[in-house]
Structure 1
Amino acid sequence: MAAATALAASRRGLRTMLLSFGTSRGLGTAFGLEAPLFSGPRGVPVGINDQLSLHEVDVAEELRLGWNSGQGGLAALVGSGLERVSAEEVAVTAEAAHIVTLLRLGEYVREQRHDLIVVDCPSTSEALQLLNTVSAMSWYARKQQAPTQPGRKARLLAASLHGAEASLEVRDRLKAVDELLHNPEVTTLRLVTSADTASVQETQRAYTFFNLHGAAVDCVVINRLAPDGEGADAELSRVQQPHVEKLRGVFSGVLLLEVSRQVGDVVGEVPLEAFAEQLYQGEDPVRLGEPQPLLGLRKDAVDAYLLEVRLPFVTKGEVELSRRGEEFVIQVGGVRRNVVLPRMVAQLPTSGARMEGDRLIVSFQKERGV
């Protein structure tokens, strides 16, 4: 899906970078690039055509290139006391992988050599972790600095937001990327699902969790639908149809695209172009529709503010709320968002919370007579 979208955009003259992270290395194969299983070029951009490049991020290679280089302070990512450790010795954790990916993404944005960057995420959970990386790091850094906990040590990577000059540089670069990822005018997400019970539920959960974290979704793609036919295809189509109808119903406010299961492997530019044409029907693959505007904190009256978060498919009883000082926590299922309230709101008590449709509305208001 990501490969076809990036290729279609490049055919329209957009200078496009297709970025992926994880260990699958499947995008190169999608373009017909043959490489040895474990050797060959690692973590370098590959030109697909005059307008399209592919970069499969290699975390170990990024660490090797950036470690103690003075261009980002990657040594600060894994805490202090590692000045004498070489990049080859560093354990590659999930947190480090996400941070390296964000730094690489930020580098491409700063270079301004591309009109479009398509990021292929290996899974919903990986995408959520990537979106939440900077927020999570900031939380641990705040706890590390809290005066009431002088002896507590923050976990891995917390030090990358405070302390040394290189560490501060990393913080600033990550914050800049994080702001772009949560800006619906710059970044939108595209969910890909299948017409079966598990996939439908997973897509609903993903849509809820991305909204919880303030990320905009511009469309949902139903992939691998049975083509018109007889026999097994007709039976599969009959089984899929109720799930398709459910997706059309629950995502009625979101652009929904449907694409049939492909007969053979979609490998190479010609098959990818055919797939993109079937998917987008000649429309611009980048500007498909306007995502729903994101909500946030707004002033309601004198000494009164409202925090609004869109939580589709969620009832009030499924939302857990808590607060400690300036930090307001919203949890749905196993996913949590920590909202740091600005000073003018943090000094106000929480006066109530309610669900209006798919919106959670939390009130902060000065007590009468105070």
Structure 2
Amino acid sequence: MARIILVSGSGGAGKSSVAAATALAASRRGVRTMVLSFGVSRGLSAAFGVEVPLFSGPRGVPVGINDHLSLHEVDVAEELRRGWNSGQGGLAALVAGGLERVSAEEVAVTAEAAHVVTLLRLGEYVREQRHDLIVVDCPSTSEALQFLNTVSAMSWYARKQQAPAQPGRRARLMAASLQGAEASLEVRDRLKAVDELLHNPEVTTVRLVTSADTASVQESQRAYMHFNLHGLAVDCVVINRLGPAQAQQAHVEKLKAAFTDVLVLKVPHQDGEVVGEKPLEAFAEQLYQGEDPVKLGEPQPMLGLRKDAVDVYLLEVRLPFVAKSDIELSRRGEEFVIQVGGARRNVVLPRMVALLPTSGAHMEGDRLIVSFQKERGV
């Protein structure tokens, strides 16, 4: 099973440099590595010094960097065209918004379509078993969370198909897409399999990249909480582009104090651009100090639902930096909703738990613990 490292964080913090350097360092150890990204920025190609045509030439194909490393910047439109199967099949049903006889060229490449296609490509690389490590250069934190929550969001819409129509074009299109997806069990199962890998801390961890400034410190704390809320393991925080300024050092101390339970790595500001293999190797050496970039830190095990006694179940979710007063909880049948600020997670309860009433909720340190218990005398 391939190991997956997701590199995310605040915009402009140097995520692509960290992703490229991590992949290159692993490949130098003989690890068969794929580094991939999606979007139009082509940041990975720039980091490796790979020149790509501005608007023409082959798109969305893997590029060999060395004997153990390949680079793939996923071109969503090309992936759609290649996997369309003459306008039919599971992929067409999933992203064509429920429309019939639509060609790949006619489909608008929405964020939802990009996320689905990238997840399918990631799953294909895992199934091929040609790589020991897959490093994903994710977008900035908010889009990365949408990407990682794609399957959960789709499942939510699927459960609401029988409910009154949701307002808004996006909701209608998503619901229509899911009606098509139900006809394609293979695509649905492939997406579910990838989602399970992403939420397995033994397979997938997040590497959070940030800068040493006030806004980035707070954004990193929020991002860490969001990843934990959605059941994703963070293995380290990378503080990038550090200079000698006293103000930056103060922010570094804040970050170290905030992330006492996570490995914190620091990288000084580079004199020149981190472009090409030699600069990337120097960057990786400063980042990892000769340590194995794959086996890094010990991410805390993800929490979840467990049986505590007869007809008593506990749901535990790690919510760092959160006070009980910041949390809103609600119950809608088989769904238990946890909301912190603008972040929300809908936890689908197993049938045996959904039949039990919610009996209480409290915080123990940074853990939210919710209990479900059969009422006495019932």
Q: What TM-score do you get using the length of structure 2 for normalisation? A: 0.91
Which of 272, 286, 291 aligns to 1:278? It is: 286
Is structure 2 residue 338 aligned with structure 1 residue 330?
yes
Q: Compute the displacement of 1:3 (Å).
A: 0.2
Within-5 A mapping of 1:221-300: 221-226=238-243, 234=244, 236=245, 238-300=246-308
Which residue identity does 2:49 align to in structure 1? G
Is structure 2 residue 194 aligned with structure 1 residue 186?
no
Which residue identity does 1:327 align to in structure 2? E
Once the two structures are superposed, residues 41-100 of structure 1 have per-residue CA deviations (whole angstroms, 9 ceiling, x without a partner) of 211000001100000011111111111359962111135653311111101111000000
Is structure 2 residue 323 aligned with structure 1 residue 315?
yes
Which of 90, 101, 105 aligns to 1:88? It is: 105
Aligned residue for 1:85, secondary structure, equals: coil
Partner of 2:365: 357
Distance 1:308 1:165 in 2: 31
Could you say which structure has the greater relative contact order, defined with CA pairs below 8 angstroms and 6 or more residues apart? 2
Is structure 2 residue 136 aligned with structure 1 residue 119?
yes
Within-5 A mapping of 1:37-52: 37-52=54-69
Once the two structures are superposed, residues 276-304 of structure 1 have per-residue CA deviations (whole angstroms, 9 ceiling, x without a partner) of 01110000011011100110001111111
CA 1:152 to 1:36, structure 2 compared with 1: closer, same or farther past 3 Å?
A: closer
Which of 52, 71, 96 aligns to 1:54? It is: 71
Which residue identity does 2:330 align to in structure 1? S
Name the % identity: 85
Aligned residue for 1:114, secondary structure, equals: coil
Which residue identity does 1:118 align to in structure 2? V
Distance 2:151 2:104 in 1: 22
Which protein has the larger Cα radius of gyration, Structure 1 or Structure 2? 1
Which of 16, 32, 45 aligns to 2:49? It is: 32
Q: Is the 8 Å Cα contact of residues 350 and 363 (structure 1) preserved in structure 2?
A: yes
Q: Is the 8 Å Cα contact of residues 208 and 313 (structure 1) preserved in structure 2?
A: yes
Partner of 2:12: none
Which residue identity does 1:37 align to in structure 2? L
Q: What TM-score do you get using the length of structure 1 for normalisation? A: 0.93
Which residue identity does 2:334 align to in structure 1? E
Q: Compute the displacement of 1:178 (Å).
A: 0.1
Once the two structures are superposed, residues 251-288 of structure 1 have per-residue CA deviations (whole angstroms, 9 ceiling, x without a partner) of 01100100100000011001100100111000001101
Aligned residue for 1:63, secondary structure, equals: helix
CA 1:296 to 1:125, structure 2 compared with 1: closer, same or farther past 3 Å?
A: same
Unpaired runs of 5+ residues, structure 1, are: 227-233
Distance 2:299 2:201 in 1: 7
Q: Is the 8 Å Cα contact of residues 94 and 181 (structure 2) preserved in structure 1?
A: no
Is structure 2 residue 229 aligned with structure 1 residue 212?
yes
Within-5 A mapping of 1:118-157: 118-144=135-161, 146=162, 149=163, 155-157=172-174
Which residue identity does 1:275 align to in structure 2? F
Q: Is the 8 Å Cα contact of residues 162 and 168 (structure 1) preserved in structure 2?
A: no
